[in-house]
Amino acid sequence: MTKARVDPDWQVRLLLIGPPGAGKGTQAHRVAEHYDVEHIATGDLLREEVEAGSDIGGRASDAMQRGELVPDDLVFDLVMPRMIAAGRANGYVLDGFPRTVGQAQEARLTALDNDVAVTQAVLFEASPDVMVPRLLERARSEGRSDDTPEVIRARLAVFDEEVEPLLDFYRDRGLLAVVDATASRDEVWAALQRILDGEGTTEDHAR
Ligand code: AP5
């Protein structure tokens, strides 16, 4: 049962916030399948553009290889049409956007205009001791080119710089919950379901 059973207007429009390797992509897949919503992953969309050799990919590639954020206009062009379409259908899970308070402010204005604003944000809390080995293991198994020790450090630094105002943005709107992302995949999934099913809607820790 989702919160929608209690409030028919409530829709899974979920935002996952977390450092690299926290498990956002892993859990977003499960959310999308279980709740039948669209998974919108900015990293995946950008990597597809790079692979296709598109103009967007060409403009994004250097920043991605350095572990820095790509320009906002590229990300908005990729995400906003998908977010609006998904919100008008069944809902969405955002994985990797917004990442800064500037992105959050702009996205929310457009989303509110279209009645598709985020209904729940969840912070995946984890320390670098847990995330770095996960990413190095992923580098071995999947060969993602930004999973090198140096680029991982840069991605973690960007996350640390940007995250507090981003969390405040969602906390101030009563939309933020927190999960312990160091737990097993199944435990994190259970915590997320508790949040989405209305048993842990606001901060704090749904364990
Ligand atoms: P993006 O692809 O979003 O990378 P990221 O945020 O660094 O996230 P990751 O994919 O590394 O981690 P994740 O939390 O999804 O973990 P996962 O589930 O894969 O972004 C890449 C780049 O694109 C950015 O650096 C930037 O340049 C650009 N970009 C993207 N969005 C942008 C934006 N909004 N603005 C500007 N630039 C943007 O799991 C990691 C590994 O751990 C996997 O192998 C998984 O199997 C394993 N794992 C997962 N959960 C568990 C668990 N509970 N226990 C054990 N292992 C686990």
Residue ID of nearest Cα to ligand 1 atom 50: 23
- Checking if the pLDDT of 81 tops 70, the result is yes
Say if pTM beats, i.e. exceeds, 0.75: yes
Instruction: List helix spans (H) across 114-148.
Output: 128-142
| Residues flanking ligand 1, CB < 6 Å | 18, 20-26, 42-43, 46, 63-64, 67-70, 75, 96-97, 99, 103, 134-135, 138, 155, 184-185, 188
Question: How far is the C-alpha of 59 from the C-alpha of 159, rounded, in Å?
Answer: 21
Mean pLDDT across the stretch 140-168? 96
The protein residue with its alpha carbon nearest to ligand 1, atom 9, reads 20
Model confidence pLDDT, tens digit, residues 20-78: 999 999 999 999 999 999 999 999 999 999 999 999 999 999 999 999 999 999 999 99
**CA pair distance 120, 68, nearest whole angstrom:** 26
Which pLDDT tens digit goes with each residue over 140-150? 999 999 999 99
Residue whose CA is at the smallest distance from ligand 1 atom 26: 69
